[in-house]
Structure 1
Amino acid sequence: MERAESGGASGDVVLDAGRLVSRSREVGDVSFQAFLASREPPRLQWASPGGLELAGAGVAAEVTADGPERFDAVRSAAAAAFADVDANGASGKAPRPRFVGGFAFRDDHAPEGSWSGFPAASFVLPEVQLTRTDDGTWVTVNAYGPDADPEAVERALDDAVESVQALPKMRPVGTPPGVRATRRTTPKDAWTTQVADATERIRAGDLEKVVLACALEVDLDGPVDLPDVLERLRRTYPNCYRFLVQPTEDAGFLGAPPERLVKRDGRRVETEALAGSVGRGGTPEADAELAQSLVDSEKIQHEQRLVVDTICEQLAGFGDVTEGEQRVRKLDNIQHLQTPITTELASDVHVLDIVEALHPTPAVGGLPPAAAAATIRDVETFERGWYAAPIGWFDATGDGEFLVAIRSGVAGGDGATLFAGNGIVRDSDPQEEWDEIQLKYRPLLEEFR
């Protein structure tokens, strides 16, 4: 296994010279939950509602970085790994080697406490990768280094395929661990003070919008099984992304976000603005009324406009930007305003360049970005870590897809910490914002009960 790390402000990352040997073979359908359960950490999963699902275990190569140049550092180190590739699946769209991982919300993030094992940026080329698309399922074995041997990789692929084919196509999800107690790290009175602070800054002209977040600590009745939680999320939220990043046995970061940050496929880039939310109604009529309240709300439409305009401005330097028609995105327990945005790239731009330009979007940070970041640092009372940050994959061509890691939490053993946030604008009401945040804990919290 090859590992490259950076430290300090430069973010320089260098992988030792070597070649990447990758072998893939198509297999029958298999339970990704069973695959993850059969493997020891480090392990990961990434799934899009559009059909691509990845799972990985072990490490063929790893890149970590911190500091302001972490996006460039990761891209450069991965380019070195992709410079010499011997892969039987390299020309196909499905089983090709991919680096999978993510970034912390802030570039000065320290991997401490609940976030131990999560640097400011970390991407892994899995030793064993399972890939599923509408066209099939593949097992891939990767090796990287000066001594990477095609024959050894072929033998390892034989073993990996045999073990995967022995797994069940379906695996029971087991019993949730149960929730013994919850504690809000930000009490309601403190939240009210934080919102008042933010709205005062907005009225003073320092801010247009800031997203303030809270954390919910959860004591579980028993140890949590992370593959089981992912499977329950898949069944409950089939139209959302799903992810797991688990560097050690101690804990993993997982969730079911509704929001794509960006997808690059050749010259086409897809993203979206997702801002404003309301619950679901108990009847079709009540549900439609709540959806219409999103559309009619002057506050929410203002918030959505800020997000749309900012994303379009951030993408304008990459090519021609098109804003799609606004719609209501309906999920199991919540609905949002959503505006699709596409870009036709004018040049060959790596997906990480676009990720860097977009993160953090106004939907998870605020506007102006520097003033919003300063407010978040001053006001929030917990460490965001990788919450609300980009998590995804990229390949040798610079294609890739990233989600925004909301509706998420860190879980391990008999405990978890869940995260949720809300956009604060000039006329935000603390009680309404508090109620909305409680809705956003539910997707993950309910899978523990």
Structure 2
Amino acid sequence: MADFEYDLFVIGAGSGGVRASRIAASHGARVAVAEEFRVGGTCVIRGCVPKKLLVYASSFAHELGDAAGFGWTIEGAKFDWAALRDFVASDVDRLERAYTNTLDSNKVEHFHERATIAGPNTVRLASGREISARHILVAVGAWPVVPQFPGSEHCITSNEVFHLPELPRRVVVQGAGYIAMEFAGVFNALASQVTVVNRSDQILRGYDESLRDRLLRITMARGIDYRFNSPIERVEKQADGCLHVYTKGHPDPLTADIVLVATGRRPKTDGLGLETAGIALGANGEIPVNEFNATSCPSIWAVGDVTDRVQLTPVAIREGHALADNLFAGTSRTVDYSLIPSAVFSQPPLAGVGLTEAQAREQFREIKVFTSDFRPMKNMFAQHAERGFYKLVVDAATDQVLGVHMIGPEAPEILQAVAIAVKAGLTKEQFDQTIALHPSMAEELVLMR
């Protein structure tokens, strides 16, 4: 391997790139990574982690409102957006240092500049330096998509939402996927007026219909407005700084302080130089790879969101780890993409694993559906009498649980453990044989008959 400066050069220091770098180095490989922005990637810097902190912070609005029913009197409570924003930024700084320390402790060299591909075994840094590597891994992630319409330059994406100078009083969110619904919930809880506009007539496409319907009803009751089949046509900035948002089918504009566009993410491959290695991109700008994360060029690999398979941080980590083991430990590992649990940190949150009811009816001759529609004990004294809803989808022929879907307090925390049972192929009878943990919301999973 002495013919190359590095055994592995990684472009992108997000979750997948950092994991691949660390594992490769632990196998004795000479590893370097280049990152043009900040070490940690989307999840740590401008995604999952800071967003979850905003969700936690905003949920206190409901907690404080419900505290009186439990005997608490809270006087003078007030919210400070700047304090929250700066705390979140400080935690992002902490995590970036931790990720950087991980690279340093594993003797991974890192370059804080953009890197592009200049050939099958060559990387070119923004400074002009060219570096040779036996293997090149592309792990640059994805980037928010902003549809083009007049005034789109006045809109923001999830990248910028963490840096707002003040809490907006009026928010328009375009899109109804998980990012859109999570931020809509955050701003709604913080007392902003929120309107969600969407090009279709449904939210959270791909999740079980019962959960989607329940979340829609709850969020409408909490004050979120919706305009379905009504994407943004144009945005006009007014003299006082506010925005007039015109949507399809509505002559009167919405007035907003910010317009958050959350209509999906696209692999960040523009200008990466992949053509110099003979790699053609897919229809969405993704890098096509096989089950071993290999591209059409034998020395170049790709993991994570840039492949546009499953855009989830834990998936990128699994892919990066498997690739490093395959390249430098002689293994032949692949990643199993079946039965991946997922969650939406809306308010309330929802989570699911396996087949939805609709998917199961398409794939199996006969299924059984078990549901529990209940009011969580925590909500007994709440201002809003919101109910939880759990669903088990079961193959009638084998009794195997095909899917579990939940909405209610702490649903994602409960679902992670349940996903193990679904992954293991357990049956409804085995769920039933498990004694309930009482009193808890999770006990509903073993009480459905």
Judging by fraction of residues, say which structure has more strand: 1
TM-score (norm 1): 0.23
| RCO comparison, higher one (Cα < 8 Å, 6+) | 1
TM-score (norm 2): 0.23
The structure with more radius of gyration: 2
